[in-house]
Chains A and B, each alone.
Chain A
Amino acid sequence: MKKLYSNKLVIASLILPGILVFVFAILAPICLSIYYGFTDYSGMGTATVIGFENYSKLMQDKIFWKSLWHSALLAIGFICIQHPLAMIVAAVLDKLQGKAEGFFRCVYFIPNVISVAVIAYLWKFIYNPDFGLLNNVLKALGYTGKINWFDSKIAIWSVLVVLIWHGFGWGMLIYYTGIKNIDPVLYEAAAIDGANNRQTFISVTLPQMKSVIQVNVTMAIISALKQMETVYLLTNGGPGNSTQFTANYLYQQAFKAFKYGYGNAISVVFILICIAVTILLNIIFSEKGKAV
């Protein structure tokens, strides 16, 4: 038995495909990025190694820091707007039974299965100040002005709205499952104590959902960091970098400004930041988990 489970050949054969994929699709490109990050490679011709020049430039690159700041804003937006909303709706949905429950759950999730390309273009139209849906809705409600939703001061929030709209079903579903998994005995106990809905939510549901909230918060922060496709199609970082995100910026630098080396330097820093943030979040949450 033990022999069978420690047969090196079998182990190797099982693990090899996974390792190969990892090496080829993740490790190799990262190594290449690290190399090109040290060069002035434009994308064509020859690459000259220039040491840490790209990195020191990056440290002073306002747009890069701005893009990280935008990720932070997005994460805050997710955590403070999308998640409370999703949790409340999930809690409300939990109170329903039968067909209505399934119907709403289904409706909420539909935007999630639509491809980003469609979503981004659709919202371009929705946001159009002259004939977009949103301003028409405002007009129908009696507001006469035209709002420019991609004004550089609010564009980032408009992007956030699209992302919240698109991802709402997913977040809601996770909370919903978390709520469903709460032991009904706890609710019964609360009911016996005479707690009303709100009290039950705060004293039973919320504490029980802790691990789910942690997972969701982690996911929100990570996805805010990794944001690219929606922004690429919706605003491409504009107007004037006011919705710039790291992934989009590195793409632009490499393929638009012909600074492939610099783009790779951004990639490397980007990866480091993502890893650091993930580890940090894990530490924070696991310590909290232990303390309670």
Chain B
Amino acid sequence: MMKKRFLTTILAITAAGTLLAGCGSKTAAPTAAPTEKATEKAADQTTEKAAEETTKQAEAAEDVTLKVFSNLPDRKNGQGLVEQMIIDEYMAQNPNVKITVEALDEEAYKTKFKAYAMDGMPDVVSIWGQPAFLDEVLNAGVLAELNTGDYADYKFVEGSLEGFKKDGKLYGLPRNTDVAVIYYNQKMFDDNGWKIPETYNELLTMASDIKAAGLIPMAMDGGDGWPMAIFMSDLVNKINGSTIETVANAVQNGDFTAPEFKEATELMRTAAEAGLFQDGYDSQDYGTAMNLFTNGQAAMFYMGSWESSMALNEDIPEEVRTNIRVFTMPVVEGGKGQKHDIAAWNGGGYAVSADSKVKEEAIKFLNYMYQPDKLSKYGWENGVGMSAQDQSQYMTGNETELQMQIVEIVNAATSLSGTPINDCGPSAFKACIESEIQSVTNGTSTVDGFLDVIGKACK
């Protein structure tokens, strides 16, 4: 493999990089090799395009307004802050460009994105390089094709672009390397003598101890459905040792009756019944779950590595903020997945609208964001998790311990799960599983009923 291009910190990702490719039938095929070819092919086109661009720029010093549609409403912390910093910088450097941002919460964002996709989108948009989000969007041709050759020097982690491609053409760029983690409050753990669980059963045993201490074991954003779907994917990964093919097959055949899905669903349900999650987790949103954790009400919080900027968020009480640490889903007894087979994927990213009237400028801005010293560097400096680009040179030594832990987790990873289950099928499947997963964990529907319904939704 082509490890030479990648520096030590992300070796693990590199090795597992090809695994990160999406899991749908359409995106499962490409591996790292075609990427390279596409790059070469695109190389000569690049020069032409570059020439074209310069002439265009010369004549177009007129005012341009770029509309950015973002899923990061918090512009003062974490990723939203980073995005806003780059936007401000870009506007300062290009006085003729005005960038307006419309930012919505993840769920509201996805809904509105689909509404936009019907007729006319903002110029630069947040996207997810996953079949559930991207397949239909790409089929409709609403995203602009990007020139793969442009990004040869951008140090994207190998394989990270795959989810954003269709028929070898690139339509978006990944922002993060996401890892599903369990944040925990170290001080709380130490004070009570709780230890990081090695197995799933230990996790459940510990949950009852935590409950007995009058605290919430794990805060879960169950109201949205997708975090629980990630939790389930995480378990499938631990049971089966890998997820991509199993899920791809299940989605393609509309059949989720395989034992690993059944076991994962049952395990998750057991956890809910044992009180691992807070009361009413299945109706509480992202903010509520996170606040339970950041205000010291919950000992753990199941979420993606993108929330590692919690460690620097001054709205969070210092006592909690400085004590946040992570571990990953413990192994399942009898499962094939080992400790370092983690749930990770390249999810969120950006794209440019195909019918944008200022496409050139939008792509220019997109490329600007992805210059390695922008999103990656600023993100890293602001405590955000790992980007999808090589970040090793931006290590400052001032990283939060939380950040370093996540880097270690990724470095130590023996395999990465790829796209979470809910994002592997069509939107109808996603909508279905994210709602039904609430019913199955809270006991309203049976495990078999759940697997049957989500299977049908694939067709």
Contacts and interface: CB of A to CB of B under 8 A. Distances in A.
Interface of A: 42-45, 124, 127-131, 146, 148-153, 155, 235-242, 252-253, 255-260
Given A44-B136, A239-B222, A240-B439, A256 B279 contact: no
B283 A238 contact: yes
B435 interface: yes
Interface residues of B, number: 43
A45 B140 CA distance: 5
A45 B216 CA distance: 47
B110 A242 contact: no
Given A130-B216, A238-B435, A240-B444, A43 B283 contact: no
Interface string B419-450: 00000001110111001111110101100000
A50 to B, nearest CB: 15
A149 B280 contact: yes
Contact of A239 (B115, B282, B292, B427): B282
Given A128-B288, A258-B428, A152 B439 contact: yes
A150 B280 contact: yes
B442 A239 contact: yes
B276 to A, nearest CB: 14
Given A130-B297, A149-B280, A236 B223 contact: yes
Contacts of A42: 136, 140
B118 interface: yes
B117 interface: yes
Contacts of B25: none
Contact of B442 (A44, A149, A151): A151
A240 B297 contact: no
B79 interface: no
Nearest to A244: B435
B427 A257 contact: yes
A250 to B, nearest CB: 13
A54 B451 CA distance: 24
Contacts of B137: 44
Contacts of B428: 257-259
Given A235-B283, A258-B426, A43 B118 contact: yes
A257 B432 contact: yes
B347 to A, nearest CB: 18
With a 10 A CB-CB cut-off, give which of B137, B278, B284 has the most chain A CB atoms: B284
Contact of A129 (B139, B141, B280, B439): B280
Contacts of A149: 280
Given A239-B223, A256-B114, A152 B140 contact: no
Contact of B438 (A44, A148, A238, A255): A238
B212 to A, nearest CB: 14
A239 B439 contact: yes
Contacts of A237: 435
A237 B282 CA distance: 11
Contacts of A256: 110-111, 114, 427, 430-431
A259 B110 CA distance: 14
25 contacts: A42-B140, A44-B118, A44-B137, A44-B140, A124-B285, A128-B280, A128-B284, A129-B278, A130-B278, A130-B279, A130-B292, A148-B283, A150-B280, A152-B442, A238-B223, A238-B283, A238-B438, A239-B222, A239-B223, A240-B438, A240-B440, A255-B115, A256-B431, A257-B428, A257-B431
B282 A43 contact: no
B142 interface: yes
Interface string B123-159: 0000000000000110111100000000000000000
Contacts of B445: 240
A239 B441 CA distance: 10
A32 B114 CA distance: 19
- List the 10 closest pairs (A to B, CB-CB), nearest first: A240-B439, A44-B140, A150-B283, A239-B282, A129-B279, A257-B431, A240-B438, A258-B427, A239-B438, A148-B280
A129 B225 CA distance: 19
A54 B216 CA distance: 44
A152 B114 CA distance: 28
Contacts of B107: 236
Interface in B322-351: none
A6 B209 CA distance: 84
Contacts of A43: 114-115, 117-118
Contacts of B279: 129-130, 146, 148
Contacts of B222: 239
Contacts of A239: 222-223, 282-283, 438-439, 442, 444
A152 B117 CA distance: 33
A207 to B, nearest CB: 43
